[in-house]
Structure formats: structure tokens, C-alpha cells
């Protein structure tokens, strides 16, 4: 009797045990709701992003499709919390990927809770499902900058092509008319018909006519005129200028894919006139370290090492430095004054408004015209950023008093068209 009860009690416990286990297992399915995905994104960015990308191999594997590789979700949670422990326990898959990644140790995240890890996985799975949107073309973007170099070239081609086709048509028509005339002259025609056939408008007479000469002269001078004007306008204008740099530095890799903030490298933009080109020491903040990762020892990276006198084999600096000679792309003449802090910091204008989609460029090109007209045009159209800027409160009051409550205060209203503001 007693035995029986104990046995019953045991099986009850076992049942309870299984229930809890299966309940926890059940709880450990990856959520799919937006809130989890969102919190997962945040956690992923702060904890995992240094080593993992969802769709790209980084220091660690691309996490997309991880669920098809790992033994289970529970395993993954254990792995993230402490991969070293799992490897030491002799777990087969853990040891396999550890070897595959040259025994590089993943950080232990003992502080993360189970559902936080599940949120991360939710984000990874959601992200993996997304189809990559095609990158917007740079050429369409370039048109917003004011000039339309490519379309204008096409336009010329089209016009010339149409002209050639018209000439060909004319020649063919003249040939047909002549053939017809010959054919008709061999027949007996009435007087009336003869008049028509022998009309005074022959090809030769047309070409010699004042009307025709006028048209030809007009077309030719128009073409010459346009070429000269184009030439005059483009003196000193370097839109599209994209020289080859001494190191194949890519903004797409740094500012785009790796999302490094522009200001991390261009340290001057918030403070002063110049944006500054970063010194090689700033490159070294990352490239001494990334060296162990995917891009060790490429020819381009060794140019950075040469510039700062660093020997990657010994990890020592020789003290011999040789600055990288970046070629300057944007360059206003000395007579003009432009200040970055005024526009970026005070005016709150995005870099991309003036420089275009730099984060998509492998090679930087001058996106805007940088002419006086370009500056003035924007000063006429753009509202002054008066928000959270007490300096403008008084000005704005005066402006509204003068021009009505609804009148927006443009840059021109604060003196943005005065010669002396831009010219020394």
C-alpha cells in the first residue's frame, strides 16, 4: 500500500517534471510580435553587432538561418549566455563552430535574460526574412543637386540623331521625286500635269533659297552659342569631380554598411568652418583591431600602417610618420566664406543635403554645384531653424510683426543674401 502510494507520488512528480520541462520548452519559442522584434533590435545592436551581422559573415557567423543549424533554441540561449561553458562541456556543435571560427571566443552574456535572448532571435529571424531593397541609384539622386550632366548629354545625342534622320529622309525624298519625274516625262502628259511635274521647286533651287540658308545659319549659330555658354558656365565648376584617392577608402563600407557616424571622422563639422579630413590615427582606432578579422593585411590597410609607422607583425610604432595625401574634392575659391558649424549645427542641415548620399559612395564625388547661385538659391528657399534657438526668438518676432504671423523666416530674411556675409 505504502509502496504503491510512493510510486504514485513519484510518477506524479515525473509528470510534473515533464510538464514543467515541456512548458519551458514551449515558452522558449521565438516570438514574432513587433514589440519583441523591436526590443530585440536594440539588444542586438548593443550586444551582438560588433561581431555579428544578420546576413553577412563578420567576426562571427551571419546569424540568418541560425535556427536550421543549431541543435535547439534552448541550446542557443545557453550558448549566448556562456559559450565557453558549452564548449568545455564537450557539446558537439559548440565545438564544431568554435573550431570553424579559429577558436575565437564569443563574449559571455550572463546578464541577458532568456526572453531578452529570445527577442534578439526574433529580430534576427524577422531581419533574415526581409528582402534587400535595391540601393537607390546615384544618378537619379545627382539630379537633385542642380545640374543634370548625364541627361543633357543624352539630349544632345537625341537631337543630333533626329537631325541626321531628317537629313536622310530629305535625301530619300529628293531621290524618289527625281525618279518619278524621269518616269513621268517618258509618258504623254496633259499640259496641266506637265506644269505640276516641271514645277520650279527643284532640290537645287530649294537649297539656294534664302529661307533654307536662314534655317541652316540659325541652327549652326545656335549650336555654337550653346557650346560657348556651357563652357563659360562650367569654368570653375567641378560638379561630379571624383578623383582617385591614395587609399581606396570607401564611405559605403564605413558610413554605410558599418554606420560609422560622419562626425566620428569629420570632427570639425559641429565646431567650425572646416569639416576636417581624419588623420590616420583615427583610422588606427579600428584598423589595429579589425586586423584580426576579415580584412587582415590588405594592401590598402598596410598604407595606413605605413602612414603611422606601425608594424602589424610586432604591434610596435616606429615613430616614422608620413601623412596620407588625400586629394581635396570640394574647394571654394578664397574669396568665399563657408562655415560648416553654421549650417550643420545651427541650421540643422543634413550633410546629405549638400554632399548627396555619401554613405552609398565608394568614391566621393562633388555632388552639388558649389556656385554662388547654388548658395543663394538655398538661402532663398530654406527656413531658418528657429526651434530651440533663443538667439532667433527676437528676430522671428520682428519678422512676423513685419510680414504677418504666417510668414516663414527664410535665410534671406536674416541677411543670407548680403555680399559681405559670404565674401571677405
Residues in region 121-160 near ligand HEC by CB under 6 A: none
User: Which CB atom, from 48 or from 126, has the smaller least distance to ligand HEC?
Assistant: 48
Cβ nearer to ligand HEC, comparing 177 with 272: 272
Query: What are the angstrom distances between the C-alpha of 269 and each of 56, 257, 343?
Result: 32, 22, 9
| Single residue of 73, 86, 126, 304 touching ligand HEC by CB under 6 A | 304
Alpha helices in 234-383 (DSSP H): 251, 262-265, 280-287, 299-308, 340-341, 351-355, 372-381
Residue 184 or 286: the one with the smaller Cβ distance to ligand HEC is: 286
Select the span of 125-133, 194-202, 213-221, 293-301 touching ligand HEC (CB under 6 A).
293-301
d(CA 282, CA 401): 49
CB of 341 to ligand HEC, least distance (A): 10
Q: Which long-range contacts (CB under 8 A, 24 or more apart) does 370-373 make?
A: 370/237, 370/238, 370/239, 370/330, 370/332, 371/237, 372/336, 372/422
Among 276, 288, 291, 321, contact with ligand HEC (rule: CB under 6 A): 276
Q: Which string of x and - marks every residue 29-68 that binds ligand HEC (by CB under 6 A)?
A: ------------------xx-xxx------xxx-x--x--
- Among residues 126 and 283, whose Cβ is nearest to ligand HEC? 283
Q: Which of 37, 54, 275, 409 binds ligand HEC (CB under 6 A)?
A: 275
Smallest distance, Å, CB 316 to ligand HEC?
20
Of 3-11, 128-136, 193-201, 333-341, which part binds ligand HEC (CB under 6 A)?
333-341
Q: Residues binding ligand HEC: what is the number (CB under 6 A)?
A: 104
Task: Confirm or reject binding of residue 414 to ligand HEC (CB under 6 A).
Answer: yes
Element (H, E) at 311: strand 310-311
Give the chain's count of helices (H) and strands (E). 21, 2
Among 70, 108, 128, 174, binds ligand HEC (CB under 6 A): 70
C-beta of residue 407 within 8 angstroms of C-beta of residue 399: yes
Angle in degrees, CA 105, 108, 114, rounded to 5:
135
Q: For residues 424 and 412, what is the distance between their CA atoms, to the nearest angstrom? A: 18
Which residue matches cell numbers 514543467? Answer: 20
Q: Of these, 174, 346, 360, 400, which contacts ligand HEC (CB under 6 A)?
A: 346
Amino acid at each position: 500500500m505504502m509502496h504503491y502510494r510512493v510510486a504514485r507520488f513519484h510518477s506524479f512528480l515525473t509528470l510534473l517534471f515533464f510538464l514543467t520541462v515541456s512548458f519551458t520548452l514551449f515558452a522558449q519559442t521565438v516570438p514574432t510580435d513587433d514589440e519583441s522584434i523591436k526590443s530585440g533590435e536594440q539588444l542586438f545592436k548593443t550586444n551582438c553587432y560588433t561581431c555579428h551581422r544578420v546576413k553577412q559573415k563578420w567576426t562571427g557567423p551571419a546569424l540568418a538561418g541560425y535556427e536550421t543549424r543549431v541543435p535547439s533554441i534552448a541550446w542557443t540561449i545557453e550558448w549566448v549566455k556562456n559559450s565557453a561553458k558549452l564548449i568545455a562541456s564537450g557539446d558537439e556543435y559548440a565545438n564544431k563552430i568554435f573550431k570553424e571560427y579559429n577558436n575565437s571566443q564569443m563574449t559571455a552574456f550572463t546578464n541577458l535574460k532568456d526572453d531578452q535572448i529570445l527577442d534578439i532571435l526574433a529580430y534576427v529571424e524577422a531581419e533574415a526574412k526581409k528582402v534587400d531593397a535595391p540601393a537607390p541609384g546615384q544618378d537619379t539622386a545627382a539630379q537633385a543637386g542642380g545640374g543634370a550632366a548625364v541627361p543633357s548629354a543624352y539630349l544632345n545625342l537625341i537631337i543630333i540623331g533626329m537631325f541626321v534622320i531628317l537629313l536622310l529622309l530629305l535625301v530619300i525624298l529628293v531621290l524618289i521625286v527625281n525618279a518619278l519625274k524621269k518616269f513621268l516625262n517618258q509618258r504623254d502628259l496633259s499640259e496641266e500635269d506637265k506644269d505640276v511635274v516641271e514645277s520650279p521647286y527643284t532640290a537645287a533651287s530649294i537649297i539656294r533659297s534664302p529661307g533654307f540658308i536662314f534655317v541652316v545659319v540659325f541652327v549652326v549659330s545656335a549650336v555654337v552659342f550653346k557650346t560657348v555658354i556651357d563652357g563659360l558656365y562650367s569654368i570653375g565648376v567641378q560638379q561630379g569631380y571624383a578623383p582617385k584617392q591614395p587609399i581606396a577608402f570607401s564611405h559605403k563600407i564605413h558610413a554605410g554598411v558599418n554606420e560609422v557616424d560622419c562626425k566620428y571622422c569629420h570632427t570639425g563639422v559641429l565646431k567650425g568652418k572646416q569639416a576636417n579630413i581624419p588623420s590616420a590615427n583615427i583610422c588606427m582606432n579600428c584598423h589595429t583591431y579589425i586586423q584580426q578579422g576579415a580584412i587582415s593585411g590588405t594592401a590598402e590597410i598596410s598604407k595606413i600602417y605605413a602612414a603611422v609607422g606601425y608594424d602589424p607583425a610586432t604591434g610596435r610604432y616606429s615613430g616614422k610618420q608620413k601623412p596620407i595625401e588625400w586629394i581635396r574634392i570640394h574647394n571654394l575659391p578664397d574669396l568665399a566664406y563657408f562655415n560648416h558649424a553654421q549650417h550643420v549645427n545651427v541650421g540643422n542641415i543634413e550633410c546629405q543635403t549638400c554632399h548627396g548620399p555619401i554613405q552609398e559612395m565608394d568614391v566621393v564625388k562633388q555632388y552639388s554645384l558649389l556656385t554662388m547661385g547654388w548658395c543663394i538659391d538655398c538661402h532663398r528657399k530654406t527656413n531658418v531653424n528657429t526651434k530651440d534657438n533663443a538667439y532667433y526668438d527676437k528676430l522671428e518676432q520682428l519678422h512676423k510683426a513685419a510680414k504677418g504671423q504666417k510668414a516663414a523666416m527664410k535665410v534671406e530674411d536674416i541677411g543670407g543674401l548680403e555680399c559681405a556675409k559670404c565674401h571677405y
